[in-house]
A and B are shown apart, each in its own frame.
Chain A
């Protein structure tokens, strides 16, 4: 290996010495390559080299500008979820749906007014009885607790302490008809059209 290198080096030097005069004359012209340099064609050499520093910086600048634009867009506050119940539907303002106003005779309007007054009196007496019953019950409880206190302090304290097990309390309220025994409700198919909003 070393011998080959020496031989090529000696050959180059001898050749260089022989054609040195001609080589000097053409060295400064780009059309004639020197024997020493690589055999490169002209177009390959004429290509502009990639400038490594400025382009990455340019790309970074472009990316930063895009990011800033995105941030500006994102800064807009998110759209509020509308409350369906508060939106007045267009059907309410439809004029084709207006019902004709009824024609009330004098007796009918009188009867209605008197019935409303009767109802307010009825409701007032109902409320009074309810309040009275509640007061009675509270008074009975208060007296019971007083008696219990006279009896035994410990039992009184146990009675007055809060009950943690009562909640959650569930009870099915009264319906119009009592529940049927062994009744299987028919399965109903339905399309759920509730709108789901995401933020």
Chain B
């Protein structure tokens, strides 16, 4: 039979709600979907877990990582071996020819008319070209790889350019202030991904644009409320994490005490151990 809260008769395998349930706990709402009889969820058997959607925003690395000692050694070896097995390039041939020409000019009985291809003295030699190129390189000042503010300011997204950073927010949970990934309670009528997007958008003072990677959550964490808060019908909460990649580069600086951009190894300084255990599984710091 149709669920008790539907006014209009429908075949029991198809449920359409027209009213929103006023009960505090989440109720399922559908838009004319087909259901098998076993999966019917009625208003009475609602789940005691409150649903939250959270977002794991990553600022991907801007600069390449420094090489480890063995990587340095190996890179040098590879470059040497490649050089040894290569043939001479046009530029190198030119250098050799110029050197030979110079040595011939220095000899006493030098006659410039005997040269195969008579060259004007104004022509630029290969060595001169090399010097010009080196000069041009010196004139260009690239930005520094590390800004130097790695340890001090945890709320700047420009720190640790070589690693991927995760955004954390400080939030009141019950009586405590905890560092968490940004999360918000799920509302009826939206998918969990939309909840996560709302969580990102509702951060105070932050104008972050991120691309969400897919509809599926990447991890979850469930916790029970402490006994005094547990009402009937709500045992605890389940948080579903969604991954997102930060798209814009320049941001307004965020509040120091409520926001932090942290690397994976710094997470243990901020998060609670149980929470950390679940979050670490899906954050890859490769």
Give residues in A with beta carbon < 8 Å to B: 91-92, 94, 96-99, 101-102, 112, 115-116, 118-119, 122, 130, 133-134, 136-137, 139-141, 143-145, 147-148, 150-155, 158-163, 166, 169, 171, 174-180
* Binary flags per residue of B138-149, CB closer than 8 Å to A gives 1, else 0: 000011110000
> How far is A171 from B87 in the complex, measured between Cα atoms in Å?
37
A115 — which chain B residues lie within 8 A by C-beta? 73-74, 77
Give residues in B with beta carbon < 8 Å to A: 26, 28-30, 33, 35, 39, 41, 47, 49, 51, 60-65, 70-71, 73-74, 77, 81, 84, 86-88, 93, 142-145, 161-162, 191-193, 211-220, 222, 238, 240-241, 245, 247, 249, 278, 281-282, 284, 286
B146 nearest in chain A by CB position: A178
A178 contacts B215, C-beta separation under 8 Å: no
B213 — which chain A residues lie within 8 A by C-beta? 166
A160 — which chain B residues lie within 8 A by C-beta? 215-216
B240 — which chain A residues lie within 8 A by C-beta? 144, 147-148
Cβ-neighbour of B143 out of A139, A152, A159, A180 (below 8 A): A180
B30 — which chain A residues lie within 8 A by C-beta? 154
B84 contacts A119, C-beta separation under 8 Å: no
With A97-B87, A137-B281, A174-B162 known as contacts, the answer to whether A152 contacts B217 (CB < 8 A) is no
With A137-B282, A148-B220, A161-B215 known as contacts, the answer to whether A174 contacts B86 (CB < 8 A) is no
A94 — which chain B residues lie within 8 A by C-beta? 87
A180 contacts B214, C-beta separation under 8 Å: no
B87 contacts A154, C-beta separation under 8 Å: no
Q: Would you mind naming 5 contact pairs between A and B with Cβ atoms under 8 Å apart?
A: A144-B218, A153-B35, A154-B30, A159-B215, A162-B215
B216 contacts A154, C-beta separation under 8 Å: no
A177 contacts B144, C-beta separation under 8 Å: yes
B144 — which chain A residues lie within 8 A by C-beta? 177-178
> How far is A150 from B284 in the complex, measured between Cα atoms in Å?
27
A122 contacts B70, C-beta separation under 8 Å: yes
> How far is A31 from B197 in the complex, measured between Cα atoms in Å?
116
Given contacts A144-B218, A151-B47, A159-B193, 9 further A-B contacts (CB under 8 A): A115-B77, A141-B217, A141-B282, A148-B217, A152-B26, A153-B28, A154-B28, A159-B217, A176-B142
A178 contacts B62, C-beta separation under 8 Å: yes
Total CB contacts across the A-B interface at under 8 A: 143
A91 — which chain B residues lie within 8 A by C-beta? 87
B281 contacts A158, C-beta separation under 8 Å: no
A118 nearest in chain B by CB position: B70
> How far is A91 from B111 in the complex, measured between Cα atoms in Å?
31
A92 contacts B216, C-beta separation under 8 Å: no
A99 contacts B282, C-beta separation under 8 Å: no
A147 — which chain B residues lie within 8 A by C-beta? 220, 222, 238, 240
A141 contacts B216, C-beta separation under 8 Å: yes
> How far is A153 from B39 in the complex, measured between Cα atoms in Å?
8
> How far is A49 from B84 in the complex, measured between Cα atoms in Å?
88
B143 — which chain A residues lie within 8 A by C-beta? 177-180
> How far is A112 from B281 in the complex, measured between Cα atoms in Å?
38
> How far is A144 from B87 in the complex, measured between Cα atoms in Å?
56
B192 — which chain A residues lie within 8 A by C-beta? 148, 155, 158-159
B47 — which chain A residues lie within 8 A by C-beta? 150-152
> How far is A136 from B65 in the complex, measured between Cα atoms in Å?
23
A137 — which chain B residues lie within 8 A by C-beta? 218, 281-282, 284
B216 contacts A169, C-beta separation under 8 Å: no
A121 nearest CB across to chain B (Å): 9
Query: Which one of B33, B216, B238, B247 has the highest number of Cβ atoms from chain A below 10 Å of its Cβ?
Result: B216
